[in-house]
Amino acid sequence: MGFASNIGKYQLGRTIGEGTFAKVKLALDSTNGKYVAIKILDKHMVMESNLKNQVQREIRTMKLLNHSNIVRIHEVIGTKTKIYIVMEYVSGGQLSDKMLYAKRFSEGEARKLFQQLIDAVDYCHNRGVYHRDLKPENLLLGSKGNLKISDFGLSALRKPGDLLSTKCGSPSYVAPELLVNKVYDGGAADVWSCGVILFELLAGDLPFDDSSLMSLYRKICRADYTFPQWFTESQKKLISGILDPNPKTRLTIPKILENEWFQKDYVPSCGNNSDDKIHLDDVNAAFDSTEENDMETKIPKSASFINAFQLIAMSNDLDLSGLFEEEDENKQKTRIGSKHTIKETIKKIEAAAMDVSLSVERTNNLRMKMHAKQIMTRCSRSYIDISAEVIEVAPTNCVVEISRSAGELGTYREFCKSLSSQLTEEPAVSSQMQESDVVSIQCQSIRKKESSEETNSRKIKDYRGYSSS
């Protein structure tokens, strides 16, 4: 196959996937003659894009899982410029590739794949892992047609009962509770995605599909879909229970396992008990050589870039919360666009606060509260409570969300005016934007990438299911 170079005991071969920050190569383990897939990441680009924690989380999660229907990680190797993640090689490619030419699967084939998917997801949930991006592109097929879950870049590791808040996933597969600005159960969200996949396997089409992102999300929130004529009553009953927009009444995995349609020809696939001590020495060593060169360690960093779901939740015009809850008309909020880095934006917030005689109190790296400097006389007391949060859209683009919980409206408006002025000192910087303006600008970018069905939360996309976080 034309091996060109070596990394440790592995002989690197042809490229089987490529993305913005990484390549995936087929390789041969010289000690046993077995093939592996090696994901090669550019270390400098990972560090510059603040993706170190995300990459480490993906590796840590995949090391924790040892199941026949989940792609395994063997080891991590680091050099001065590259990070090599050695993974199990799955020869059958993505499930999505097979779906392109197979259209829809037979009931038996669909049931077998769905059984393996549920077994693997159940195993993950029992280990406290929630995938949050289940879709055919992240499901690989082995040589015998067995399914394997890959790409845990958006996964979360939580204790049972803990709720999640990060909005992520792929539009057509995302659960409705992720489209509103509330915490959610990661297990219920994964089950919804499994239901969408089952529908697609049996129908050959997605249950929710629309050229307009907002129309798509409204369909998802209302569970607005139609069964093809060939669906049986047992298939409809199972899928209807899974695609329940209310996560509290949605079918759980134990209920799915008891379902009569699911149980037919069911052969459970069990996972192995991994060592509770997950060794990350190779992971830490892979990054150590760049730690001293990380000049941005003191700069505040957001947990992740803003994504489509957060953009929708930020706008009263586009927010879908009204489908679930009443809107609070008493909230006083303003959002201002900034074409500065997070560090520069925070400095400008502090300067604007000084302009209107407000003191600043940091609650964390990206949030702060403004209070009036205590000036009291016998007759009056000055009091104002304003909070500001910086949300990163891109490395040099932010949105500042300002809210007033108490105090005079005049001071609040003066602060917003001053901050808008601070952020427009340079000609290239946008002036103050209303909520719908911010969302409109960002959604234009989202729609251009809609065909790939990827949200802005994803920073790296590789092919054949070997995706990087």
Q: What is the rounded distance in angstroms from the CA atom of residue 263 to the CA atom of residue 234?
A: 12
Residue 462 bears catalytic tag: no
Q: Which of 133, 190, 244, 462 is catalytic?
A: 133
DSSP 269-305: -PBP---SS---HHHHHHHHHHHTT-TTTTS---SS-
DSSP string for residues in 191-234: HHHHHHHHHHHHHSS-SS--SSHHHHHHHHHHT-----TT--HH
Residue with the two structure tokens 């249950």: 207
Instruction: Name every residue whose Cβ is closer than 8 Å to that of residue 296 and which is 6 or more positions away in sequence.
Output: none
Cα-Cα end-to-end distance for the chain: 29
Token pair, residue 131, equals 């995938």
What gap in Å lies between CA 253 and CA 287, rounded to an integer?
A: 38
Beta bridge mates, 386: 370, 404
Q: Which residues contact 336 (CB under 8 A, 6 or more apart)?
A: 399, 400, 402, 416, 419, 420, 423, 432, 433
Helix (H, G, I), strand (E, B) or coil at 430: coil
Long-range contacts of 121-127 (CB under 8 A, 24+ apart): 121/149, 121/190, 121/191, 121/194, 121/253, 122/253, 122/257, 123/65, 123/67, 123/69, 123/70, 123/271, 124/65, 124/67, 124/70, 124/149, 124/190, 125/186, 125/187, 125/190, 125/253, 127/64, 127/65
Rounded to whole angstroms, the Cα distance separating 100 from 59 reads 30
SS3 letters across 350-387: HHHHHHCCEEEEECCCCEEEEEECCCECCCCECCEEEE
Q: Which residues pair with 402 in a beta bridge?
A: 334, 388
- The answer to whether the beta carbons of residues 429 and 400 sit under 8 Å apart is no
Residue 305's φ and ψ, nearest 5 degrees, are -70, 150
Annotated binding residue 301: no
3-class DSSP assignment, residue 181: coil
The token pair that represents 34 in the structure block:
């077995």
Q: Which SS3 state, helix, strand or coil, does residue 407 take?
A: strand
How far is the C-alpha of 439 from the C-alpha of 317, rounded, in Å? 9
Which segments are annotated as binding site for ATP?
Answer: 39
Active site residues: 133
